[in-house]
Amino acid sequence: VNEPFILLADEPTGNLDRESAIGVLDILTRINTMGTAVLMATHNYELAQQTGQRIIRIDNGTIVS
C-alpha cells in the first residue's frame, strides 16, 4: 500500500527512550501531513499531547474526553 487512507499505530513509542519516541512522532506527523489519517494508541498521554492533534481518552472502555 503506497498511499493508505489510515495508519494504525499501537504503542509505537512504548519501549523507546524519549528522544527516539519524539522521532517516531515526527515521522507519524509527516505521514499525517501527506494526507494519511493516523490513529495511535498509547499510554503516554504527555507524549500524545505534544502532537497538537485531537486526543480521545478511553478509560475502562468508556470515552472520557
Domain residue limits at 29: 6-63
40 within a domain of the structure (yes/no): yes
Q: Residue 18 phi/psi, 5° resolution?
A: -55, -45
pLDDT in tens, 16-58: 999 999 999 999 999 999 999 999 999 999 999 988 899 999 9
28 within a domain of the structure (yes/no): yes
> What is the structure's pLDDT at 2?
82
CA distance to 1, 3, 31, 32, per residue, from 43 (Å): 28, 28, 21, 20
> What is the structure's pLDDT at 1?
63
Q: Residue 23 phi/psi, 5° resolution?
A: -60, -40
Average pLDDT over residues 3-18: 95
Confidence of residue 12 (pLDDT cuts 50, 70, 90): very high
Domains contained in the chain, number: 1
1 within a domain of the structure (yes/no): no
> What is the structure's pLDDT at 51?
87
